[in-house]
Structure 1
Amino acid sequence: MGLEALCEKHGIPESHGLAHARRVLAHAEKALEKAAAPVAPPLARAIRLAALLHDADDKKYFPGTVPGETPNAKGIMEAAGAEPGVVADALRMIGLVSCSKNGNSVPSDVAGRPEYLWPRWADRLEATGEEGVVRCWQYNTEVGAPLAAAETPRPATEAEVWALATAERFAQYQKSGGSSRSMMDHYYDKLLRVARPDYSSVRNEYLESEMDQRAAPLVEICLAYGKTGEVPTDRILEMAARM
């Protein structure tokens, strides 16, 4: 069973389905094009496969999967004829993607191999920018979560937005297993933190350039909510129409 069939069979929604996977793969392809040095073909294949299949065993949609195991991604790669070494590398990369599990941390075994984190950063690009705004709203709508809460911050300046996205709040988000009390709180719990990781762990011209640009729409939505106390759904729908 391929990824498209898997998504159809299990009703994976648009926010985490095939279209999202293709966009993450496109980011990974551009990262490979902008690599400071040529990436060995087997490693490049692993990067592409990890980018495409990073959500194939997502616990939100496959709650019965044993933590740390990725039977869907592994099965798809093996059925496609990927070499064992490529499969192993891709699975390691997939294990590094989840924000609720990994945050922005860099395990010691990949500290000198930034390519192993490129699928993570490619996925994080889709959590930021206009795409991230839309995906967050889509997922929130899919699960019926509140758009905001009484305690949701209402910043008046960009400096206040960034000051509210604290390391402590990000740590609590990870400790909770990736839970936010509302869509707008998710911006401060996760999205703003992943928009600006330490570039020493990225080390790719394309990914870093995209990260520089993609924080602005997140800040825009936070400030709009801060000003009115209402989530600017009309603005979010405008962004969705451009995707």
Structure 2
Amino acid sequence: MEEAVIQKAIQYIKEYFADDYSGHDYWHSFRVYKLAEEIARKEQANLFIVRLAALLHDVDDRKISPDTYERKENAVSFMKQCGIDDRIISDVCTIIEDVSYEGNSVTPQSLEGKCVQDADRIDAIGAIGIARAFSYGGNHNRAMYDPEIEPSLNMTRDEYRKHISTTINHFYEKLFRLKELLNTSTAKEIAEHRDRFMHEYVDEFLLEWVGKR
């Protein structure tokens, strides 16, 4: 039954995110699923809960579906249709609630939540993270860079939600912070190369911006 639910969830998110070009598309959720699965195996977490939460983690995201965000209506509806136990539904919804970064970091209480949060954050850094950042910025009419606009650091949750900046500033405001906010040793190991590559990219970008390359 568990494998059948996972396959249904994969098909569900493939259809749900079919028209998304903001960097929160089907492939993002699928990569988070695969990363979370890898982390969960090494950290000995409950694989079914991790896999299910990873696949559904964005279907009620505030940025994508603000009307269902509070009650996680899309995720709950899908799980109920699959006959998932109420306890598991509650666990998955708690993980989904805690996964996002919004100016500060919520540390999930469960190992499963830590695995999913780590996977989501790893997909926000490295080469894929760079591509997603510029995809999201272009999708929301944000400038790539403006040297006259300084990054805003240490924002509150409300400030972060309302904040409009440049894509390069987003690296300083969020992406460069993620490696230090990871929960598991497995995720920290995966993140080392990605984080280094991302810093090197921004350094190169800033040099090219002023014509030094």
Q: For the superposition of Structure 1 and Structure 2, which TM-score range results when normalised by the shorter chain? A: 0.7 to 0.9
Q: Give how far 1:150 is off.
A: 2.9
Which segments of structure 1 move beyond 4 Å, counting only runs of 4 or more?
Answer: none
Q: 1:137 to 1:51 in 2, by over 3 A?
A: same
Match of 2:204 among 218, 221, 224: 224
TM-score normalised by length of structure 1: 0.74
Q: Match for residue 134 of structure 2?
A: 137
Q: Match for residue 48 of structure 2?
A: 45
Q: Match for residue 12 of structure 2?
A: 2
Q: Is the CA contact 1:180–1:186 (under 8 Å) kept in the aligned structure 2?
A: no
Q: Is the CA contact 1:196–1:211 (under 8 Å) kept in the aligned structure 2?
A: no
Residue by residue over 1:148-188, the C-alpha shift from the partner in whole angstroms, topping out at 9 and shown as x without a partner, is: 113256xxxxxxxxxx8xxx704357633163410000001
- SS of 2:121's equivalent in the other structure is helix
Q: Is the CA contact 1:100–1:178 (under 8 Å) kept in the aligned structure 2?
A: no
TM-score normalised by length of structure 2: 0.83
Q: Match for residue 27 of structure 1?
A: 35
Gaps of 5+ in 2: 1-10
CA distance in structure 2 between the partners assigned to 1:120 and 1:105 by the alignment: 9
What amino acid is the match of 1:220? E
Aligned positions of 1:121-200 closer than 5 A: 121-152=118-149, 169-172=153-156, 175-177=159-161, 179-197=163-181
CA distance in structure 2 between the partners assigned to 1:150 and 1:196 by the alignment: 26
Share of identical aligned residues, percent?
23
Q: 1:188 to 1:172 in 2, by over 3 A?
A: farther
Q: 1:230 to 1:51 in 2, by over 3 A?
A: farther
- SS of 1:148's equivalent in the other structure is coil
Q: Is the CA contact 1:93–1:119 (under 8 Å) kept in the aligned structure 2?
A: yes
CA distance in structure 1 between the partners assigned to 2:36 and 2:158 by the alignment: 25
Q: 1:174 to 1:211 in 2, by over 3 A?
A: farther
CA distance in structure 2 between the partners assigned to 1:222 and 1:182 by the alignment: 13
Q: Give how far 1:116 is off.
A: 2.1
Q: Give how far 1:114 is off.
A: 3.2
CA distance in structure 2 between the partners assigned to 1:96 and 1:139 by the alignment: 21
Gaps of 5+ in 1: 154-163, 232-243
